[in-house]
Chains A and B, each alone.
Chain A
Amino acid sequence: MRRLSFRGNAHHPSSCHTQARADTEGLAVVAIIGQPNVGKSLLFNRLTGSYVTVSNYPGTTVEVARGRARLRCCNQALRIVDTPGLFNLVPTTEEERVTRRILFDERPQLILNVVDAKNLPRMLPLTLQLIEAGLPLILDLNMMDEAEFHGLTIDLPGLEYALGIPVVGTIGTNGSGIEYLRERISTCVHPACAVRPCH
């Protein structure tokens, strides 16, 4: 088992735009984090235009995938990292360890926490842990269509205010909400092209 290195310990990011940790190509890194089977890989495909395997069962992604995404404003490129599912910040399986290593060692500039909108009571404890950790975060409520089908109405701005992080809603299967998500990502990663301020 590899040890966590906590490399580069000079800084302690507490908001969206503290230190910029870039990858080898100088791109800002955005990591997609979330519990298994919430649609992380489909979102990764939507954002990067590439293809990683997507299935309807937990545990499809066992290896980290990396791809480039282009933001519309500023003509900036981003590195998007798709990770295996994570239930809790304290990992129990090998692939959860892999994901945590990305969070702590690679220090993405932004974390996109994807959750299943129809299962919020089970999803949000991980989000709270990420908030507690002071990691720069966007919360994405995915599968909004299924939540609606289950009779749920979710007050996104209210949740955004209560949690103190940007909250967006998407439907990965038809791409709805992805453009708005892109906009919020660019605001957090490149404040210069901000349409609205990042929290």
Chain B
Amino acid sequence: MSTQLVQYAPAIERSITEISRLLRGGYPLSTRAVALLLLAGDDEIRAAVEARDQAISSRIDELVAKVRSSQSQPLAYMLAAQRQATVERLLPRFVRIKAGRAVGFGERLSQAMMNPLTGVPILVAALAALYAFVGVLGAQTLVGWLEAGVFVRFFNPWVDALVNRLIPWPVIQALFAGEYGILTLGIRYAVAIILPIVGTFFFAFAIIEDSGYLPRLALLIDRLFKTIGLNGRAVIPMVLGFGCDTMATIVTRTLETRRERVIATVLLALAVPCSAQLGVIFAILAGRPLALLIWAMIVIGIFLLVGFLAARLVPGERAAFYMELPPLRLPSLSNVLVKTYTRMEWYLREVLPLFVLASVLIWLGQITGLFSTALTALDPVVRWIGLPHEATPAILFGFFRRDYGAAGLYDIQGMLNGVQLTVAAVTLTLFVPCVAQAAVMLKERGWKIALGAIAFIVPFAFVVGWGLSRLLIWLRLPL
């Protein structure tokens, strides 16, 4: 009885019966449903039916074509309209609505978030709060305490002494301790610099996620995004990129067209800094508001420029924008804490082995002389963009992981002046995605797009760094 819940127009019902008869059963869903999907133009189902019996499939094609030409509207639309009508007819019998509920504070706040006049100030306020929490509390207070207070003062000297006593060979000593040791560099970067930053970021981000602000932000930015060929739906993966670009690249699956997925993937790899990078950039540019402003303007400008150009280059249809607006909710502390914890655990599990591996590679490189060869090779490029050669290792680390490079930059910030810090921050933000992100790009978009994107991004980052350094020196801004 349940299959007759929805009655379609007579001509459609007739063709459903005819198609069902041809199908002869044996599908994991009712033949009526298979017929409906075929009428709605479902290619996957059509292929599955064809794979089973080609003759029947082509007879069904004829039937579908016949009904399609007899109707003035697309069949998929008509079927959906019929189902909707059934629901509208059914519901009043079972749902009672108490009218006259006042417009609450939540409703007004929701409207304010999406109205450009009030929405932009709210966005700025949200970003300022994020900066205060992640950039000041996380990247300065907590990092300062862990890095200077715990690692440099106690942990590193203790490890150096212990390793020197236990291991007599200087070559092996260098693997664990010293300037680039696994414990003194790899673990220190991961635990003392990156962890407090991503921890505070994930916490703040979980609150934003659970409040329902992101879809409203997407609607606010939709108009801007349309000019670069993305719809507001794409803002969600972009914003998630601030948490972790690797996760965000996976989330681009929710975008409807291939064109959007490609543009979003490239932009994520190029111009969206991840939480660890963002935190370190906040920290090294702290106390230099002009430098932070220039960094933000450059990154946003490049984001828009590349997005715009990519939209011209990548062919394909533009998707219509349609998004659910979930209600604004007060986040539950338990979900926020559990989510922060799981993300930190996931991040550490991913990052620690890589940081250790990086230390091992550097160690191997030092033994074989490859490390200094790479440094020598990279040095001219680093100098070309106006940075001292002490910054070369940080840039080299950045090839391995963006957050590792950012941590390296944090380590030497005392040696750089304002212009150099700004240039380094911009270059590191733009260039190469980390190993994990590159792997996900490869898996999700295929090697052509992934390699193409990387081949574009690396030189582009250095050219922008060079241009910026010339410009800033010429402008003589007090950075």
Interface residues of A (CB under 8 A from B): 1, 3-6, 8-10, 12-14, 35-37, 51, 53-60, 62-63, 84, 88-95, 97, 100, 103-105, 107, 120-121, 124-125, 128-129, 131-135, 146, 150-155, 158-159, 162-165, 173
Contact = CB atoms under 8 A, between A and B. Distances in A.
B253 A94 contact: yes
B53 to A, nearest CB: 12
Nearest to A6: B48
Interface string B391-432: 000000000000000000000000000000000000000000
B93 A153 contact: no
A158 B29 contact: no
A1 B214 CA distance: 30
24 contacts: A8-B28, A36-B324, A51-B338, A55-B209, A56-B210, A57-B209, A57-B215, A59-B236, A59-B251, A62-B251, A89-B37, A92-B256, A93-B253, A93-B254, A103-B28, A104-B29, A120-B87, A124-B87, A129-B83, A133-B33, A152-B96, A155-B93, A155-B95, A158-B93
Contacts of B90: 124, 162
Interface string B222-253: 00000000000100100000000000001101
B2 interface: yes
Interface on chain B toward A: helix, strand, loop, or mixed SS? helix
A63 B324 contact: no
Interface stretch (B127-135, B267-275, B327-335): B327-335
A1 B258 CA distance: 12
A109 B36 CA distance: 23
Contacts of B18: none
Interface of B: 1-3, 5-6, 25-30, 32-33, 36-37, 40-42, 44-45, 47-48, 51-52, 76, 80, 83-84, 86-88, 90-91, 93-99, 101, 209-212, 214-215, 233, 236, 250-251, 253-256, 323-324, 326-327, 329, 331-332, 335, 338-339, 342-343
Contact of B96 (A89, A153, A159): A153
Given A56-B329, A165-B2, A124 B33 contact: no
Given A51-B338, A134-B33, 13 more contacts: A3-B44, A6-B52, A57-B209, A59-B236, A62-B251, A94-B253, A104-B29, A105-B28, A120-B91, A125-B87, A131-B2, A163-B2, A164-B2
B95 A152 contact: yes
Nearest to A89: B37
A95 B86 contact: no
B95 A54 contact: no
A35 B323 CA distance: 12
Given A51-B338, A56-B326, A152-B95, A104 B28 contact: yes
A102 to B, nearest CB: 11
B116 to A, nearest CB: 20
Contact of B326 (A37, A51, A89, A93): A37
B28 A12 contact: yes
A95 B253 contact: yes
A70 B366 CA distance: 55
Contacts of A9: 26-28
Complex A-B, nearest 9 residue pairs according to Cβ-Cβ distance, in ascending order: A151-B98, A134-B30, A133-B33, A133-B29, A59-B254, A164-B2, A55-B209, A155-B94, A125-B83
A187 B254 CA distance: 35
Contacts of A164: 1-2, 5
Contacts of A1: 44
A133 B30 contact: yes
Contacts of B97: 151-152
Contacts of A88: 80
Contacts of A173: 332
B41 to A, nearest CB: 8
A90 B46 CA distance: 12
B44 A56 contact: no
A56 B211 contact: yes
Contacts of B209: 55-57, 60
Contact of B5 (A92, A97, A132, A155): A132
B32 to A, nearest CB: 6
Nearest to B106: A149
B214 A57 contact: yes
A97 B44 contact: yes
